[in-house]
Amino acid sequence: MEKRHPPGKKRNNGPLFFYFFSLFLTFGLFYLAFHFSSWEGETKSAQSQENSLQMENSTAPAQGSAGNWVEFVSLPEDAFYQGPLILVNQRYGCYQEEIPDLLSVYENKNSSYMVSDKNVLLHKDTIQALNEMLLGFQQSQGSQDLLVCSGYRTLDYQDDLLSREEQEKGSQAAAAWVASPGHSEHHTGYALDFNIFHPSDGTSESYTGTGVYRWINENAPRFGFIVRYPEEKYAYTGIQYEPWHFRYVGLPHSLIIQEHEFCLEEYISYLDSFTAQGEHLFYTDPQGKQYEIYTVNNTENIPIGSNKSYTISGDNTGRCIVTLFQ
């Protein structure tokens, strides 16, 4: 008879299995939670950096809504039609009987240039910027033969000038070079024409902005000036290219115009997008000076932001342009 050994007692392994399974599950959940948290943090950080970069490279919103301005200023109603940013062309005229702050160029110029006679007048801010620009030109190029041959003009003078041009070239050709009375930049006191005069022999020649004089046309925006009638802008200005005709618009507007290759008509239109209660135009010049620009369509209670200083110029189209700077 075969002898059988009694079967061994079975062990209960259930509790041990659930123990290791629970431990594995806990570790796995902790691992996933940790890496998800790290990924989410990196994603938010990347998004934050991207948003920050977008803000730096775009036009920032206004400083604040009405109520957060530091002060409100009111100007006379004719402020719409005064200042270095007024647009004067065949559509927008300049009929002011008196132009404030006109001074004799001869009596206020430095020795870096000449003036055709003692009766040439310009706005005081234009003369100051002109002195700085032409002194820089003299120091850079060593030339002193520039002549300011035209500045402020009365309506009567412009009428006589246009009549003479029409007699020589006909009405249509004259209109492409000479503005009609009341529509000339020269009525503002911010426009001037250059010529070249050689004292050694008494001869003169037209200013073309080439050769050593190219320095002036390229650097004029640093001093607040623009070439008012650029090449290929006749469709906007209605005047042919005049490299000798300069217009003072002030900083930083001249630099912005240069960077965007605008004429003044295009720049005034560009500023339509920047209003007191909407977006503002922020600009930093090459020296790091910061500006903030916006427009208002009223002359009373003009809101001023928290920057230290400001200027306000009319644009001659029914708005004022506010420029804040530190």
Domain locations in the chain as residue ranges: 62-85+251-326, 90-248
Separation between Cα atoms, residue 79 and residue 81, nearest integer Å:
5
- Residue 198, CB-side half-sphere exposure with 13 Å CA sphere: 7
Percent of the chain at pLDDT > 70 equals 79
Per DSSP, the residues of 6-48 read PPPPPP--HHHHHHHHHHHHHHHHHHHHHHHHHHHHHHHHHHH
Residue 1 is predicted with a pLDDT of: 35
**44 has a pLDDT exceeding 50:** no
* Pairwise CA distance, residues 192 & 229, whole Å: 12
- 33 or 261: which carries more pLDDT confidence? 261
- Chain segment 210-237, per-residue pLDDT in tens: 999 999 999 999 999 999 999 999 999 9
Give just the sign of the alpha carbon dihedral 119, 125, 131, 134.
negative
Q: Which of 26-40, 53-67, 302-316 has the lowest mean pLDDT?
A: 53-67
Q: Is the pLDDT of residue 78 over 50?
A: yes
| Res 248: pLDDT | 98
DSSP 8-state assignment for residue 111: T
136 burial via Cβ count (<10 Å: 0-12, 13-18, 19+): middle
Q: Average pLDDT of the chain?
A: 84
CB distance 192 to 126 below 8 Å: yes
What does the pLDDT read at residue 40?
43
Q: Is the pLDDT of residue 288 over 50?
A: yes
* Mean pLDDT of the 189-204 span: 94
- The pLDDT confidence band at residue 28, using thresholds 50, 70 and 90, is low
* pLDDT at residue number 111: 96
- Supply the pLDDT for residue 214: 97
Name the least confident of 51-65, 175-189, 197-211.
51-65
The CATH label, of 3.30.1330.40, 3.20.20.70, 3.30.1380.10, 3.40.50.620, for the domain at 90-248 is 3.30.1380.10
**Out of 139-153, 155-169, 226-240, 243-257, which region has the weakest mean confidence (pLDDT)?**
155-169
Lowest mean pLDDT among 159-168, 182-191, 295-304, 313-322: 159-168
Entry pTM: 0.79
Q: What is the pLDDT of residue 179?
A: 84
CB-based contact 295:272 (threshold 8 Å): yes
Q: What does the pLDDT read at residue 177?
A: 80
Q: Of 87, 80, 82, 162, which Cα lies nearest the Cα of 123? A: 82
Span 50-66, average pLDDT: 39
CATH architecture for the domain at 62-85+251-326: 2-Layer Sandwich (3.30)
Q: Do domains 62-85+251-326 and 90-248 have the same CATH topology?
A: no
Provide the β-strand partners of residue 146. 196
Burial class (CB in 10 A: 0-12, 13-18, 19+), 15: exposed
Higher pLDDT, 212 or 34: 212
Cα 160 from chain centre? 35
CA 251 to chain centre: 8
Least confident segment among 22-36, 54-68, 302-316? 54-68
In terms of C-beta density within 10 A (0-12 exposed, 13-18 middle, 19 or more buried), how is residue 267 classed?
buried
Catalytic choice (185, 218, 242, 266): 242
Is 279 in the active site?
no
pLDDT of residue 306: 77
At residue 6, the pLDDT reads 37
- Average pLDDT for residues 165-192, to the nearest whole number? 90
- Residue 53 has a pLDDT of 31
